[in-house]
Chain A
Amino acid sequence: MHMIESGNVAAATGVKLARANVIAAYPITPQTPLTEKLSEFVAAGELAAEYIPVESEHSAMAVCIAASSAGARAFTATSANGLLYMNEQLHWAAGARLPIVMCVANRGIGAPWTVWNDHQDTISQRDGGWIQIYANDHQQIIDSVIKAFYLAQTVSIPVMVCYDGYILSHTYMPFEKPDQDQVDAFLPPFTPENMLDPDRPYNFNTVTLPDVRPDIHGQTAPGYMEIRHCLHQDMRGSIQVLEEIDKKFQAAFGRGGHPFVEPYKCEDADHVVVCMGSLSYHFRDVIDLLSQEGLKIGVMGVQLYRPFPEKAIVEALYQKKSIMVFEKALSYGNQGALYADIKSALYPCENRPEMKNFILGLGGREIKTSILVETVRNAVKHTAASDDHPMWVGLKCQE
Chain B
Amino acid sequence: MKPEKIEIRWHGRGGQGAITAAKIVAHTGFESGYKGIVMAPTFGTERRGAPIFTSLKISRQKIYDLSPIDTPDMVVVLDHTLLEEVDVAAGLKPGGLMIINTPRPAEEYHFAGMKVAVADVTHLAQEAGLPSGVVNSGIIGAFSKATGLLDIDDLVREIENEFKDKKPEKNAAAARLVYEKTRLGGAL
Contacts and interface: CB of A to CB of B under 8 A. Distances in A.
Interface of A: 2, 4, 30, 115-116, 166-168, 170-174, 278, 281-285, 364, 366-369
B23 interface: yes
A170 B38 CA distance: 11
Nearest to B41: A170
Contact of A282 (B40, B44, B65, B68): B65
B64 A172 contact: no
A172 B70 CA distance: 18
Interface string B19-30: 000010011001
A173 B38 contact: yes
A285 B67 CA distance: 12
A53 to B, nearest CB: 24
A32 B23 CA distance: 20
B17 to A, nearest CB: 15
B39 interface: yes
Contacts of B40: 167, 170-172
Contacts, number: 59
Contacts of B27: 4
A283 B43 CA distance: 21
Given A4-B37, A172-B26, A174-B37, A284 B64 contact: yes
B150 to A, nearest CB: 14
B86 interface: no
A173 B179 CA distance: 27
B13 interface: no
A282 B67 contact: yes
Nearest to B63: A173
B43 A116 contact: yes
Of B37, B40, B43, B67, the most chain A CB neighbours within 10 A belong to B43
A381 B168 CA distance: 59
A105 to B, nearest CB: 12
Contacts of B70: 368
Interface of B: 23, 26-27, 30, 35, 37-41, 43-45, 63-68, 70
Contacts of A4: 23, 26-27, 30, 37, 39
27 contacts: A4-B23, A4-B27, A4-B30, A116-B43, A166-B43, A166-B44, A167-B66, A168-B66, A170-B41, A170-B43, A171-B40, A171-B66, A172-B26, A172-B38, A172-B40, A173-B39, A174-B30, A174-B37, A278-B66, A282-B66, A285-B64, A285-B65, A364-B43, A364-B44, A367-B67, A369-B65, A369-B67
Contacts of B43: 30, 116, 166-167, 170, 364
Nearest to B43: A166
A172 B23 contact: yes
A167 B43 CA distance: 8
Contacts of A168: 66
B66 A172 contact: no
A366 B67 contact: yes
A166 B40 CA distance: 8
Contacts of B30: 2, 4, 174
A172 B37 contact: yes
A4 B26 CA distance: 8
Contacts of B65: 282, 285, 369
Contacts of B41: 170-171
**Sorted from nearest, which 6 A-B pairs have the closest CB atoms?**
A172-B39, A166-B43, A281-B64, A171-B40, A284-B64, A285-B65
Contacts of A116: 43-44
Nearest to B23: A172
Most interface-central of A168, A174, A283, A367 (chain B CB within 10 A): A174
A142 B45 CA distance: 26
A224 B34 CA distance: 56
A364 B66 CA distance: 13
Contacts of A278: 66
A2 B33 CA distance: 13
A368 B65 CA distance: 9
Contacts of A2: 30
Nearest to B68: A366
Contact of B38 (A171, A284, A366, A369): A171
Nearest to A167: B66
Centre residue among B26, B66, B67 by max chain A CB count within 10 A: B66
Residue of A4, A115, A281 with highest tally of chain B CB at under 10 A: A4
A124 to B, nearest CB: 22
Nearest to B44: A115
Residue among A172, A285, A368 facing the most chain B CB atoms (10 A cut-off): A172
Contacts of B23: 4, 172
A280 to B, nearest CB: 9
Contact of A368 (B37, B45, B67): B67
Given A4-B26, A4-B27, A116-B44, A171 B68 contact: no
A379 to B, nearest CB: 20
Contacts of B63: 173
Given A167-B40, A282-B66, A283-B64, 17 more contacts: A4-B27, A4-B30, A4-B39, A30-B43, A115-B45, A116-B43, A167-B43, A168-B66, A170-B40, A172-B26, A172-B38, A172-B40, A174-B30, A174-B37, A281-B66, A282-B65, A282-B67
A367 B37 CA distance: 19
A278 to B, nearest CB: 6
